[in-house]
Amino acid sequence: MPELRLNLIRQEWVIIAREKGKMPEDFVKVKQRKRHPDFQETCPFCPGNESKTPPEVYTIHDGNGWRIRVVPNRFAVLSKEGERTRTNSGLKKGVNGVGIQEVVIETPLHNLTTATMPIEQLKEVIHTHKNRFLEMYKDPRIEHVIIFKNHGSASGTTVEHPHSQVVGVPVTPHQIRSRIESAMRFFYDTGDCLMCKTVSDELSDGTRILFNTEYFVSFVPYAALSPFHIWIFPKRHSGSFADIRPEEIKDLALNLKSTMTMLYYGLAYPDFNYIIRSGKPGHVDSEFIHWYLSIVPRVVTASGFELGSGMYINPLVPEMAAEFLRNVRIQENE
Amino acid sequence: MPELRLNLIRQEWVIIAREKGKMPEDFVKVKQRKRHPDFQETCPFCPGNESKTPPEVYTIHDGNGWRIRVVPNRFAVLSKEGERTRTNSGLKKGVNGVGIQEVVIETPLHNLTTATMPIEQLKEVIHTHKNRFLEMYKDPRIEHVIIFKNHGSASGTTVEHPHSQVVGVPVTPHQIRSRIESAMRFFYDTGDCLMCKTVSDELSDGTRILFNTEYFVSFVPYAALSPFHIWIFPKRHSGSFADIRPEEIKDLALNLKSTMTMLYYGLAYPDFNYIIRSGKPGHVDSEFIHWYLSIVPRVVTASGFELGSGMYINPLVPEMAAEFLRNVRIQENE
């Protein structure tokens, strides 16, 4: 019998399509792996081409040049200049499109990805995310900041060079407000933080756990929205990524790299997105907001059913996904 | 200055990326058009291959054979048999995966699409949708029925033969509940049906209208979620598609065909989904539920920004999309 599971954070039903008999291996795209060079002359993010991007707003240097550059997104859809003004005419409700869009160039090397990046580099990427997150929230026009990474064409990017994005928008998205409302309702109903309770339940169950480090735990959610959907939760309750401490940054780098390495070898270099879901800096002490990181390998395509219902069909049982990933053989020195 | 617009039905913000300078023509995929034959021997939906599908549950015949066949989905993820039982263990909330999934084979001809289908045939497709919609709701285990069509690989289907799907699920999706709540709040705030008000506003504005027929109007929404996103609204207030009358079916066929023809020629045969969003038969007399049809040409890919925020970036100004479509030259006899 197939099963529907309720994703409590998203408050949406997921059909776990057990009967389809899909095995984890069915999602491995056997694609001819292109071995990209570590430098590409035409790439605007490669060293030597710094003039092809707007001037950086933040940089990490070492003796040999930059290790990380943050630049305004040349193809920004929001305008950095201007007032945030609302228009309100009957059913037409609008806001001026002010906002900040930055690109984090994560490394000078063209052909790295999160799984293959040295852990020190990944630590600096997370440190940079925190820096830009705090910086953007200083702008009073910014209501919400999203940190995300697109990797590979199925993820919605055309740029190969390892990069992530930090975007500040002048409104609170409905999806975010809706998650906050669910978490708040859960807290007032039960006295518990939904995320803290999820972490302790997952740890004592164990079947969906991937990687349990000092401060973080990665796991396939009970109601994973798609095959190999993964959450990385901080074990310390905190409403905002703004609050991440140096020792936690180091541990998150370890956990994220380990988890992404399972995906990288297990699924043969899949396209993916990851997203940091966080309250604003002012939410640090919230009892019910708890930030986390969500990883979505892009191995399936949404159809009219998902568009029409908002529900998800996950053709892979979450426990099987987790077991498969835990057993991935890591090919060092490949 | 770019602009954010609030989609009142979905209650989500859309960034209208005016500054990106995208023109409607930029979304025309210049793909080598494959001329499919009208019969394909290996296609399970082509005449003569009826044994490759489960036996039909509904058929429209004429003297020469069938014109429409409805069959259970051979790859159903939900089980038609079994009880609907809930499990509720701490954070793990589940429902047995019972449900009904049917495929509507819309025509014997392998190479038609909504735009090229004779209007009589399209009328029978809509009539069939209504029949299956009513039939599924007779099953007390079914809480919600979704009618949708996937066309082309970007829409999430691999089957070429013209078909649509009707799916009955044992829960009310959160996305649906959330839309109903918005419409209810609007009604109690203003005394108006949000959809009726939208129709009258769009008709008097005119800039986003595509096709205004006797009972239906098609238009690009003010806060369209993606390029060429289109709504077709019944002008008569009704909470459920269950209530569509014969003369309205005829008019919807005309409106849908005309609208899809604009997309077909204007965007060079795009992949698309369409979805009928409707209350259940018991919602016919609701003051605030109002069924409609939504068309989503799949010309852009969601990225981490959309996944992370729930917001949409529409790189094409809705008024420009509508103007472009109104000016499409229909190539008859092609």
Per-residue three-class SS string for chain B: CCEEEEECCCCEEEEECHHHCCCHHHHCCCCCCCCCCCCCCCCCCCCCCHHHCCCCCEEEEECCEEEEEEEECCCCCCECCCCCCEEEECCEEEEECECEEEEEECCCCCCCCCCCCCHHHHHHHHHHHHHHHHHHHCCCCCCEEEEEEEECHHHCCCCCCCEEEEEEECCCCHHHHHHHHHHHHHHHHHCCCHHHHHHHHHHHHCCCEEEECCCEEEECCCCCCCCCCEEEEECCCCCCHHHCCHHHHHHHHHHHHHHHHHHHHHCCCCCEEEEEECCCHHHCCCCCCCCEEEEEECCCCCCHHHHHHCCEEECCCHHHHHHHHHCCCCCCCC
Task: Answer for the pair B88, A5: CB distance below 8 angstroms, yes or no.
Answer: no
The Cα B202–Cα A78 span in angstroms is: 27
Question: pLDDT-based confidence at B20, cuts 50/70/90?
Answer: low
Mean per-residue pLDDT, B196-224 = 97
Q: Is A114 on the interface with B (CB under 8 A)?
A: no
Domain boundaries along the sequence of chain B: 3-74+95-326
Residue of A194, A276, A305 lying closest to B148 (CB–CB)? A305
Task: Answer for the pair A322, A220: CB distance below 8 angstroms, yes or no.
Answer: yes
Q: Which residue has the higher pLDDT, B75 or A304?
A: B75
What pLDDT is attached to residue A334?
45
Residue type (1 letter), B1: M
What pLDDT is attached to residue B157?
85
With b for 16 or more beta-carbon neighbours within 10 A and e for fewer, the A175-193 pattern comes to bbebbbebbeebbeeeeeb
Residue of A16, A148, A201 lying closest to B91 (CB–CB)? A201
Question: pLDDT-based confidence at A49, cuts 50/70/90?
Answer: very high
| Average per-residue pLDDT for chain B | 93
What pLDDT is attached to residue A67?
96
Beta strands (DSSP E) in A152-291 are 163-169, 209-212, 216-219, 230-234, 272-277
Q: Which residues contact A120 (CB under 8 A, 6 or more apart)?
A: none
Q: In this structure, what DSSP letter does residue A328 have? A: P
**Separation in Å, CA of A77 to nearest CA in chain B:** 5
Is the CA virtual torsion B284, B290, B294, B300 positive or negative?
Answer: negative
Q: Is A253 on the interface with B (CB under 8 A)?
A: no
Number of A/B CB contacts below 8 angstroms equals 230
pLDDT exceeds cutoff 80 at A34 = no
Which of A84, A309, A317, A319 to mutate: most B Cβ within 10 Å?
A309
Question: pLDDT-based confidence at A306, cuts 50/70/90?
Answer: confident
| Least confident range of A192-201, B15-24, B267-276, B277-286 | B15-24
What's the fold here for domain B3-74+95-326?
HIT family, subunit A (3.30.428)
| Chain A partners within 8 Å of B16 (Cβ) | 97
What's the fold here for domain A10-76+94-326?
HIT family, subunit A (3.30.428)
Q: What is the pLDDT of residues A151-188, one digit of tens each?
A: 988 888 889 999 999 999 999 999 999 999 999 999 99
8 Å CB contact of A165 and B304: yes
The values of phi and psi at residue B21, to 5°, are: 65, 30
What pLDDT is attached to residue B34?
65
Question: pLDDT-based confidence at B306, cuts 50/70/90?
Answer: confident
| Chain A partners within 8 Å of B146 (Cβ) | 305, 308-309
Q: Is B48 on the interface with A (CB under 8 A)?
A: no
**Separation in Å, CA of A134 to nearest CA in chain B:** 18
Mean per-residue pLDDT, B112-124 = 96
Interface ipTM above 0.90: no
**Separation in Å, CA of A308 to nearest CA in chain B:** 6
8 Å CB contact of B77 and A17: yes
What pLDDT is attached to residue B17?
86
Q: Is A15 on the interface with B (CB under 8 A)?
A: yes
Q: What is the pLDDT of residues A53-62, one digit of tens each?
A: 999 999 999 8
By residue count, chain A amounts to 334
pLDDT exceeds cutoff 80 at B228 = yes
| Cα–Cα distances in angstroms (integers) from residue B283 to residues A82, A179, B234, B237, in the given order | 46, 28, 15, 12
Question: pLDDT-based confidence at B334, cuts 50/70/90?
Answer: very low
The Cα A62–Cα A49 span in angstroms is: 18
Q: What is the pLDDT of residues A104-141, one digit of tens each?
A: 999 999 999 999 999 999 999 999 999 999 999 999 99
What pLDDT is attached to residue A137?
98
**Separation in Å, CA of B311 to nearest CA in chain A:** 6
What pLDDT is attached to residue A20?
65
8 Å CB contact of B95 and A302: no
| Cα–Cα distances in angstroms (integers) from residue B36 to residues A174, A271, B39, B111, in the given order | 43, 31, 8, 6
Residue type (1 letter), A21: G
Q: Is A192 on the interface with B (CB under 8 A)?
A: no
| Chain A partners within 8 Å of B197 (Cβ) | 90-91
Q: In what order do the strands lie in the sheet with B144-151?
A: B58-62, B65-72, B100-105, B163-169, B144-151, B272-277, B292-297, B230-234, B216-219, B209-212
pTM, entire model: 0.91
Mean per-residue pLDDT, B190-219 = 97
Q: Is B191 on the interface with A (CB under 8 A)?
A: no
Q: What is the pLDDT of residues A257-286, one digit of tens each?
A: 999 999 999 998 899 999 999 999 999 999
Chain B, 274-313: which have a CB under 8 Å from a chain A CB?
274-277, 294, 296, 301-311, 313
Residue of A97, A301, A310 lying closest to B4 (CB–CB)? A97
| Cα–Cα distances in angstroms (integers) from residue B322 to residues B30, B326, B328, in the given order | 20, 6, 10
Task: Answer for the pair B151, B273: CB distance below 8 angstroms, yes or no.
Answer: yes
Question: Considering chain B, what percentage of its residues have pLDDT values greater than 90?
Answer: 81
Q: What is the pLDDT of residues B127-180, one digit of tens each?
A: 999 999 999 999 999 999 999 999 988 888 889 999 999 999 999 999 999 999
**Separation in Å, CA of A119 to nearest CA in chain B:** 23
8 Å CB contact of A93 and B8: yes
What pLDDT is attached to residue B32?
53
Retrieve residue A130's tokens: 């925190």
8 Å CB contact of A173 and B310: yes
Compare all CA atoms of chain A with the CA of B167 and give the residue at the minimum distance.
A305
Let me know the angle formed at the C-alpha of B12 by B9 and B13, rounded to the nearest 5 degrees: 125
8 Å CB contact of A150 and B19: no
CB atoms within 10 A of CB B115: 20
Query: Could you tell me where the DSSP H helices lie in A206-299?
Result: 246-266
